[in-house]
């Protein structure tokens, strides 16, 4: 006889049916309230012609045994035998608050499965599986997938793709019969990683529609997929992609999947973000101090390290209010360009005859924190390390992978490699009392033997070991920009670098879609020079400042060559950022489904206080732009809307401006959300930042 298990949190419901066989998911979506056996009757499908003789019911670990002919929940074998396991419950399903766990086993095949489902207070459903080899010889794990059903009225799919300097580009498709899979075999998350795979009702947007999403919190090879069978079953799923023979379990050994996060909302994509951001902010490890204004030296000096020049840069940074000074690539042994030195993590005395202490002390005397760039997982063949330890490379025998940025990969799963890197990092952090590490990772892993799984797990262990020795140390995950952005790496670091481009036009789109998964305080965004070094596009300073304001803000620019006017503008922008960062990094991210071609409207809403950015990225066929309708406001509260003068664009290139921009305007939240305000006339690559305060 079956029983129902019903979990609910923050408007989300999960209903499981237990009974003969493994638990089955009857419902995942809106909280249904109290349920009874009538739900089983209401959800039992008929038997389709030319099909198995009983209704197909999707379990938490689906297989061909139950008639599921999509991607199976588990795949593996014992030296070619038992490719199709039939796990059965070996103990009652355990329920503890909003957590469900159970153990199932196939005693003939000699495998046991432990399944966990946790519905967290924010409405995020976390799922993880573990397989244990209970047999007498080796069990090979080919796949262990995490998947949940979605209803047939989820008719569209959204995923993200991209490339270097163009990460997080959305693409939509119908949710048709068959498989839509986004796979990454890059050894890191990837510039083209979807981050969040979403299924939704027809035409869903940021502020409307019912949507279901899945994210795998893992930084190695992985898949996200949506599958719909003609038999009427649709699923969203994810898994680590394992190479053939990568996970071979001896007797008693186990393999656990990364956590998959499943999220649902009836308020469009912003509803998914709201749950995920709240879940991230509830972690014990989430940064609790204000996100400091950063100056990173890369685009200011590149490899041209000179103490006097860097001191002058620190002078300007301190004068305008910078709080963290980060010395980028070029400080270590033999590192005059990117062709040599990686792996030799010793200060180069030819460039720094007295070590880094003179610069570190100077930066600290100016009241700033000090940060340093590393790329621990990589090595240049032209390095003392590679010459001394060719066996430390992550390669197939003696066959090097194709070079990428003139570098190879170190095998961190080797204890001696792990110990060397931990000793070097620990020593340097301790010697210079480093506050912050920019941890880079500039190539995909190719022909990675013994495997990406062990490498990724070792990276996590290395990060944790370093932070355990230096609890106050903060670490940024950079990976040639945004190629390692996932909630797995963010479980071990404090922010991600969104993209190697500081082109503010590109950044507006990149940050908009990166924010679907990651809260703004964990996304690095810097003001670069007028001409972006990645695209050659020239944009004015107020637009670059407006773009960087809405995430973890900083600069990447040679401030020593700036005019007094430019320095004054930056000083004003930093003051605005410091004033607004409690709101920016604690409020609710909102993105309008704005209909005006070539422009975006996004913001952050708090309790009676909000800030929005209206950004025009390109020209529109409309001479007069559409009204701005502000989402997320309290409809009963009156707000005064004013442009922030420190971020005002340069003089408009048009003759007439909308009158409320100069005077401000006060309206109810309901009016601002539905009727809106006439948008100002802006040219391409111009923005207006608007602050909404209680009237």
Q: Is 440 known to be catalytic? A: yes
Band of residue 1 on the pLDDT scale cut at 50, 70, 90: low
List the catalytic residue out of 270, 344, 440, 486.
Answer: 440
The pair of structure tokens assigned to 612 is: 């929005």
Candidates 304, 258, 238, 295; CA nearest to 129 is 258
Average pLDDT in the chain: 96
Prediction pTM value: 0.97
Run of H or E residues at 432: helix 415-432
Q: Residue 125: its pLDDT value, please?
A: 98
Per-residue pLDDT tens over the stretch 175-184: 999 999 999 9
In SS3 terms, 22-75 reads as: CCEEEEEEECCCCCCCHHHHHHCCCCCCCCCCCCCCCECCCCHHHCCCCCCCEE
Instruction: Tell me which of 3.40.50.720, 3.20.20.80, 2.30.29.30, 2.60.40.1180 is the CATH number of domain 590-694.
Output: 2.60.40.1180
Q: Is 202 known to be catalytic? A: no
The answer, yes or no, to whether residue 653 has pLDDT greater than 60, is: no
- Domain range list for the chain: 72-281, 590-694
Band of residue 656 on the pLDDT scale cut at 50, 70, 90: low
The answer, yes or no, to whether residue 187 has pLDDT greater than 70, is: yes
Q: Residue 652: its pLDDT value, please?
A: 60
The answer, yes or no, to whether residue 651 has pLDDT greater than 80, is: no
Per-residue pLDDT, averaged over 193-212, amounts to: 98
The answer, yes or no, to whether residue 654 has pLDDT greater than 70, is: no
* Cα distance between residue 96 and residue 94, in whole Å: 7
Q: Residue 54: its pLDDT value, please?
A: 86
Per-residue pLDDT tens over the stretch 396-432: 888 999 999 999 999 999 999 999 999 999 999 999 9
- One fold for 72-281 and 590-694: no
Run of H or E residues at 568: helix 564-584
List the catalytic residue out of 328, 500, 551, 596.
Answer: 500
The answer, yes or no, to whether residue 48 has pLDDT greater than 90, is: no
Least confident stretch, 11-25, 38-52, 606-620: 38-52
Per-residue pLDDT tens over the stretch 539-565: 999 999 999 999 999 999 999 999 999
The answer, yes or no, to whether residue 104 has pLDDT greater than 60, is: yes
Q: Residue 627: its pLDDT value, please?
A: 95
Q: Residue 355: its pLDDT value, please?
A: 98
Band of residue 596 on the pLDDT scale cut at 50, 70, 90: confident
Q: Which residue has the tokens 């489902």?
A: 117
Band of residue 66 on the pLDDT scale cut at 50, 70, 90: confident
Q: Residue 287: its pLDDT value, please?
A: 97
Candidates 282, 290, 273, 271; CA nearest to 585 is 290
Buried/exposed 271-298: b ≥16 CB within 10 Å, e otherwise:
bbbbbbbbbbbeeeeeeeeebbbbbbbb
Contact in structure between 556 and 327 (CB atoms under 8 Å): no
Per-residue pLDDT tens over the stretch 25-47: 999 999 999 999 999 999 888 88
What topology does CATH give the domain 72-281?
Beta-galactosidase; Chain A, domain 5 (2.70.98)
């Amino acid at each position: 006889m079956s029983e129902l298990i019903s979990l609910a949190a923050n408007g989300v419901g999960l209903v499981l049916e237990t009974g003969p066989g493994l638990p089955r998911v009857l419902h995942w979506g809106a909280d249904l309230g109290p349920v009874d056996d009538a739900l089983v009757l209401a959800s039992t499908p008929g038997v389709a012609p030319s099909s198995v003789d009983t209704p197909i019911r999707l379990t938490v670990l689906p297989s061909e045994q139950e008639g599921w002919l999509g991607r199976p929940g588990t795949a593996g074998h014992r030296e070619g035998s038992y490719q199709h396991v039939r796990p059965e419950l070996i103990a009652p399903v355990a329920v503890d608050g909003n957590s469900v766990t159970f153990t199932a086993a196939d005693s003939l095949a000699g495998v046991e499965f432990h399944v966990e489902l946790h519905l967290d207070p924010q409405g995020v459903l976390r799922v993880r599986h573990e397989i244990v080899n209970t047999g007498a010889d080796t069990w090979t794990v080919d796949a262990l997938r995490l998947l949940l059903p979605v209803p047939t009225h989820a008719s569209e799919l959204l995923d993200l793709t991209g490339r270097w300097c163009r990460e997080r580009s959305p693409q939509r498709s119908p949710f048709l019969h068959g498989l839509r899979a986004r796979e990454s075999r890059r050894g890191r998350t990837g510039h083209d990683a979807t981050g969040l795979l979403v299924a939704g009702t027809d035409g869903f947007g940021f502020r409307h529609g019912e949507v279901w999403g899945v994210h795998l919190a893992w930084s190695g090879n992985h898949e996200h997929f949506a599958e719909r069978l003609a038999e009427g079953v649709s699923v969203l799923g994810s898994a680590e992609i394992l190479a053939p023979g990568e996970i071979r379990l001896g007797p008693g050994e186990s393999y656990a999947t990364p956590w998959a996060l499943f999220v649902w909302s009836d308020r469009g994509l912003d509803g998914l973000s709201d749950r995920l951001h709240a879940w991230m902010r509830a972690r014990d490890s989430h940064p609790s101090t204000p996100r400091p204004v950063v100056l990173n030296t890369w685009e200011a000096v590149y490899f041209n390290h000179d103490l006097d020049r860097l001191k002058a840069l620190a002078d300007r940074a301190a004068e305008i209010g910078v709080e963290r000074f980060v010395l980028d690539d070029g400080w270590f042994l033999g590192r005059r360009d990117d062709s040599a030195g990686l792996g030799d993590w010793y200060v180069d005395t030819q460039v720094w005859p007295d070590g880094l202490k003179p610069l570190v002390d100077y930066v600290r005397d100016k009241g700033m924190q000090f940060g340093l760039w590393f790329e621990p997982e990589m090595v240049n063949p032209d390095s003392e390390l590679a010459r001394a330890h060719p066996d430390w490379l992550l390669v197939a025998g003696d066959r090097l992978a194709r070079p990428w940025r003139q570098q190879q990969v170190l095998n961190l799963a080797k204890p001696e490699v792990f110990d060397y890197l931990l000793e070097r990092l620990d020593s340097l952090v301790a010697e210079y009392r480093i506050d912050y590490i920019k941890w880079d990772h500039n190539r995909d892993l190719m022909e990675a033997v013994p495997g990406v799984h062990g490498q990724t797990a070792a990276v996590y262990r290395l990060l944790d070991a370093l932070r355990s020795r230096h609890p106050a140390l903060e670490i940024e995950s950079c990976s040639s920009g945004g190629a390692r952005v996932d909630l797995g790496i963010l479980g071990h670091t404090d922010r991600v670098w969104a993209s190697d481009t500081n082109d503010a036009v590109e950044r507006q789109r990149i940050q908009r879609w990166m924010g679907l998964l990651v809260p703004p305080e964990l996304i690095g965004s810097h003001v670069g020079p007028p001409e972006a070094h990645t695209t050659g596009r020239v944009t004015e300073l107020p637009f670059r400042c407006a773009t960087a304001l809405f995430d973890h803000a900083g600069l990447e620019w040679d401030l020593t060559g700036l005019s007094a006017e430019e320095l004054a503008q930056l000083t004003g922008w930093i003051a605005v950022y410091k004033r607004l960062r409690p709101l920016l990094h604690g409020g609710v991210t909102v993105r309008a489904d704005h209909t005006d071609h070539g422009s975006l409207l996004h913001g952050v809403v708090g309790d009676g206080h909000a800030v929005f950015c209206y950004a025009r990225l390109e020209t529109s066929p409309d001479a007069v732009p559409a009204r701005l309708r502000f989402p997320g406001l309290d409809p009963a509260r009156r707000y005064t809307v004013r442009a922030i003068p420190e971020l005002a664009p340069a003089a408009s290139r048009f003759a007439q401006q909308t009158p409320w921009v100069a005077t401000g305007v006060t309206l109810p939240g309901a009016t601002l959300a539905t009727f809106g305000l006439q948008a100002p006339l802006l040219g391409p690559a111009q923005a207006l930042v608007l602050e909404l305060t209680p009237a």
